[in-house]
Each structure stands twice: as structure tokens, then as C-alpha cells.
Amino acid sequence: MTGARHKPTRNGPGQLFDATGLCGEGGAMLNDTQRAMVQAIATHGPISRTDLAQTLELSKPAVTGLAKTLLQSGIILEAPLTRTGPRQGRPSIGLCANPRFGYFAGVSTAREKNDIALVDFAGRVLMRKPLSLPATPEGVADRIAGALPGMSAELGAGAGQLLGIGVSVSGLVDPGNRICRHSALLDWHDVPLADLVSARAGVPAIIANDANTAATGEKLFGSAREEDDFAVITVGDGIGCASFLGGKLYTGHNGGAGEIAHITVDPNGRPCRCGKRGCLDTVASRGAMLTAAQEAGLTITELGQIEQLAARRDPQALELIHNAASALGMVIMQIVHIHDPKSVIVVDTVGAMGHMARAIIRQTVATHVLPEMSRSFDLRFTVAPEGFWSISAASMAAHQFFAAA
Ligand SMILES: [Zn+2]
């Protein structure tokens, strides 16, 4: 089990980071408040010291003092604030993350086409490459650690240092984000993947359920930056869900919160790979829909073709889309009634959810959610960009970096 070891580079006036955590100038650990401040600046910057004080519920002198330390360390920079009005004179100066301070790596493990992405402090993708992964956890860790030195060299010293690695897995991860408890897709049980990766790469690593990485990406760098209560549902080869509650990712007692794929939507439905019957996964996942379409005699190879047939009023295609979208809508209704989120973001990870499916989901939710709850609730649909899972995994590394030690 030999793996290339990535040597963190130095950046700025001191060694700011080692394999065990973030260090301040001279090796002192950044405290929780400083980490929270770096996260707020990375997420909302450029941000004024006054707004930062409000966001963090600190006094302005306290923020000014903390900012001075972080500016000296090179982790943040001063930057002109964007003007919203017609005011004259010099622009005010705010704080933003230093994109040259460092970056995060993210790796997806669960899809056919895996890749590795490097993402900066502001969530911008610096580089992304395909990464073929073997089946064994040790092999996966070796491959990740082996890819990083070359990618870091390609980025150059100006990009700063690799600050952490996030790895997404399809399955159950322990609440500490170190061990993959179970992944049916990878056939892994109790695999300490975070430690395997960290030991080989020489920087902190974290693993997370893929839906959790998607929600974290939306919170740190996506459309949910200003929201504390929201859910992200990923729909594609599988169906996943993760929620932020009160500003924190909610993973549940066993790390299994959001396992909506196996909510029963039809007790007499098709057998599911989990052993139950009629789970949401058997109705609305990509594989389930393709199988049902073929069994119905529809000659299609891609999911998008079902919607095309439905648009021409093909009754079987219409029924398939209606079954999948209304089942998903009913599950969203349950999420809304249980958690009362500000928004639910449905991410189409295979780019196959058309207007009809979206309209049925919206209609189902509008019909079944209590009106007083649905008035302030926002249902959004997005199509996952290329590299969605690896970029989301990198967000998880950023989340770990910003989180309190
Ligand atoms: Zn199931």
C-alpha cells in the first residue's frame, strides 16, 4: 500500500497548515471565531467589517482585531466593496478570501466517470481531471494521493497550498465523516477512507455521503448561501437528500438522515435493491424509469426521450413521468412538513428532468403542502454542471476547514 505523498507548500509568512489542522502565523491554531470569520468572508465576500460584525454577532472592534490577524496570515485580503448606489468618492474597503492562499480537492467515487476537482476559497473550479478508481479502498486512496502532486504542480505555487481533501461516497458515512459504514454501490463496510487518504496525501481528508456534499456546496458556494434551513434533493442514477437545519448540516443519529430513496411510495410497488418494495428509488431514479419504459415497450435509450414521447401525448410515457414526478412531489411535501425549510433545491444530476416533470412536481407540492407553509417556501430546480460531485466533495473539504476544531 504505497502512495505518493503530497507535500504541502508554504504560503505567506508562516506554515499555516499541517496534517492535523489549520495553524495561524507562527503555528498557533486559529480559534473557532477566526474560522467562522474566514467562512463568512469566503462565502459572502467582499463584505464590510460592519456587515461581518452583524453576521457573526460580534462587535466591530472585535472584528477589526480578528481581521488584522487574518490579513497578516494571508488568508484574507482587503477588496473594494461593490457599490449598489450612485454614491461618489472612493469605494469602501471590505474583506474577501485570498484566492491564492489555498485550495481544496474533491473526489467523487460512486459514479461511472469519476473525477478530481481543485476548487479555490470562493468555490471557483481551478482544475478538474478524470480519475479512474480501483475497487479497493486502499487503491482509491493511493490513486487520489498519486494524482494530487501533479495537479498541484500544474497549478503552480501562486495557487497556494492544498488545504484539504473531500471524498464523496454513495452510502452511509459515520457522523464524524471518517468511516464509510456501508456502501452498497462500492461494496464497502466500515472503511476508514478519510484516514487512508489523509495518511497518503499528508493533508486532512474528510468523506461524506454524496447528497451531504451537494447540500454543503449549495450552502458554501451555491444558491443557499443566505439560507439556514433548506434541503437539497439529487435526482439521477440514485436519489439523495440532505438538509441544513439552523445553519448546520443535519446528518442524523446514524448519518443516514435524508435517505429518501427508500421512503415507501407504493407498498405494492416493485421490489427495491434495499429489500423493500415500492421505494421512491423504484419509481423516480434513472435506472427505474428506463427499466419501466423498456417494459412498457417504449423504444428509448435516454431518459429525456420519455419526456419527448410524453410531449406527443404517448400515454405510457405520460404515466411514467406522472408516477415519478408525483412520487417525488409527495416526498418533498413530507420534507416541507417535517422541517419547514425556506427552500428545497432539486438537482437533476443526469440532465433529464424536463418541463413536464418539473411542473408535476410543483403542482403536487402546491396541492399538498399547507398553504400557510407553501407561501414562503421556494422550490428550485437546477441541472448539475459537469463535475458536480467532485466539486461538491471539495466543498466538504472547505466545510471541514472552516468548521470549528
Ligand atoms: Zn429501497
> At 271, which CATH number?
3.30.420.40
What's the CA-to-centroid distance between 353 and ligand 1, angstroms? 21
Beta partners for residue 378, in sequence order: 343
Q: For 106, phi and psi rounded to 5 degrees?
A: -135, 140
What's the CA-to-centroid distance between 79 and ligand 1, angstroms? 50
Rounded Cα distance between 71 and 37, Å, is: 12
For residue 72, tell me if it sits in a domain: yes
Are 161 and 132 found together in one domain? yes
Rounded Cα distance between 242 and 234, Å, is: 9
What's the CA-to-centroid distance between 114 and ligand 1, angstroms? 25
> Is the confidence at residue 26, as pLDDT, over 50?
no
> Is the confidence at residue 401, as pLDDT, over 90?
no
For residue 182, tell me if it sits in a domain: yes
| The pLDDT value given to residue 86 | 60
The closest of 217, 219, 235 to 125, measured between CA atoms, is: 217
Which of 29-43, 82-96, 169-183 comes out lowest in average pLDDT?
82-96
What's the CA-to-centroid distance between 235 and ligand 1, angstroms? 15
Are 249 and 355 found together in one domain? yes
Which of 1-5, 164-168, 238-242, 289-293 comes out lowest in average pLDDT?
1-5
**285, 254 Cβ separation under 8 angstroms:** no
For the chain, the domain total comes to: 3
What's the CA-to-centroid distance between 273 and ligand 1, angstroms? 6
What's the CA-to-centroid distance between 246 and ligand 1, angstroms? 29
Which of 28-32, 204-208, 285-289 comes out lowest in average pLDDT?
28-32
Section 36-40 average pLDDT: 87
For residue 380, tell me if it sits in a domain: yes
> Is the confidence at residue 28, as pLDDT, over 50?
no
| The pLDDT value given to residue 20 | 36
pLDDT digits (tens, 9 = 90+) for 137-172: 999 999 999 999 999 999 998 889 999 999 999 989
Number of H-type helices and E-type strands within the chain: 13, 17
Average pLDDT, the chain: 88
What's the CA-to-centroid distance between 262 and ligand 1, angstroms? 4
Section 308-329 average pLDDT: 95
Residues 6+ apart with CB under 8 A from 33: 56, 58, 66
For residue 9, tell me if it sits in a domain: no
Are 378 and 248 found together in one domain? yes
In percent, the amount of the chain with pLDDT more than 90 equals 65
Rounded Cα distance between 43 and 399, Å, is: 11
Are 312 and 380 found together in one domain? yes
> Is the confidence at residue 100, as pLDDT, over 50?
yes
In percent, the amount of the chain with pLDDT more than 70 equals 90
pLDDT digits (tens, 9 = 90+) for 166-184: 999 998 999 888 999 988 8
Q: Which amino acid is at 68?
A: K
Section 332-353 average pLDDT: 94
Are 361 and 337 found together in one domain? yes
Q: How would you classify the pairing of strands 76-80 and 93-97?
A: antiparallel
For residue 93, tell me if it sits in a domain: no
Section 26-49 average pLDDT: 79
51-69 per-residue burial string, b: 16 or more CB within 10 A, e: under 16: bbbebbebeeeebeebbeb
What's the CA-to-centroid distance between 274 and ligand 1, angstroms? 4
Are 284 and 393 found together in one domain? no
pLDDT classification of 376: cutoffs 50, 70, 90: confident
Are 242 and 369 found together in one domain? yes
What's the CA-to-centroid distance between 261 and ligand 1, angstroms? 6
Domain that holds residue 77: 32-81
**147, 194 Cβ separation under 8 angstroms:** no
Section 38-54 average pLDDT: 89
Section 239-249 average pLDDT: 95
pLDDT classification of 405: cutoffs 50, 70, 90: very low
Q: For the chain, what percentages of helix, strand and coil (3-state, to nearest 5) are there? A: 40, 25, 35
**245, 340 Cβ separation under 8 angstroms:** no
For residue 91, tell me if it sits in a domain: no
Are 193 and 255 found together in one domain? no
> Is the confidence at residue 17, as pLDDT, over 70?
no
Q: If you ran DSSP here, which 8-state letter would residue 69 be given?
A: H
**Taking every pair of C-alpha atoms in the chain, what is the biggest distance, in angstroms?**
70
Q: Measure the N-to-C terminal CA separation of the chain; round to a whole number of Å.
A: 30
Q: What 3-state class would DSSP assign to 356?
A: helix
What's the CA-to-centroid distance between 135 and ligand 1, angstroms? 24
What's the CA-to-centroid distance between 302 and ligand 1, angstroms? 23
Are 206 and 230 found together in one domain? no
Cα distances (angstroms) measured from residue 206 to each of 111, 197, 212: 18, 9, 12
pLDDT digits (tens, 9 = 90+) for 47-72: 999 999 998 999 999 999 999 989 99
Are 283 and 192 found together in one domain? no
For residue 255, tell me if it sits in a domain: yes
> Is the confidence at residue 201, as pLDDT, over 50?
yes
| The pLDDT value given to residue 113 | 82
Section 215-219 average pLDDT: 95
pLDDT higher for 45 or 189? Answer: 189
pLDDT digits (tens, 9 = 90+) for 266-293: 999 999 988 999 999 999 999 999 999 9
The closest of 157, 158, 155, 181 to 169, measured between CA atoms, is: 181
> Is the confidence at residue 75, as pLDDT, over 50?
yes
Are 124 and 250 found together in one domain? no
For residue 328, tell me if it sits in a domain: yes
The closest of 212, 230, 251 to 335, measured between CA atoms, is: 230
**105, 165 Cβ separation under 8 angstroms:** yes
Rounded Cα distance between 35 and 313, Å, is: 55
Residue 136's Cβ-count burial label (10 Å; 0-12, 13-18, 19+) is middle
What's the CA-to-centroid distance between 279 and ligand 1, angstroms? 5
Rounded Cα distance between 326 and 135, Å, is: 36
| The pLDDT value given to residue 89 | 67
Are 247 and 312 found together in one domain? yes
What's the CA-to-centroid distance between 183 and ligand 1, angstroms? 14
Q: What phi-psi label fits residue 63: left (phi over 0), alpha (psi between -120 and 50 degrees) or beta?
A: alpha
Q: If you ran DSSP here, which 8-state letter would residue 376 be given?
A: T
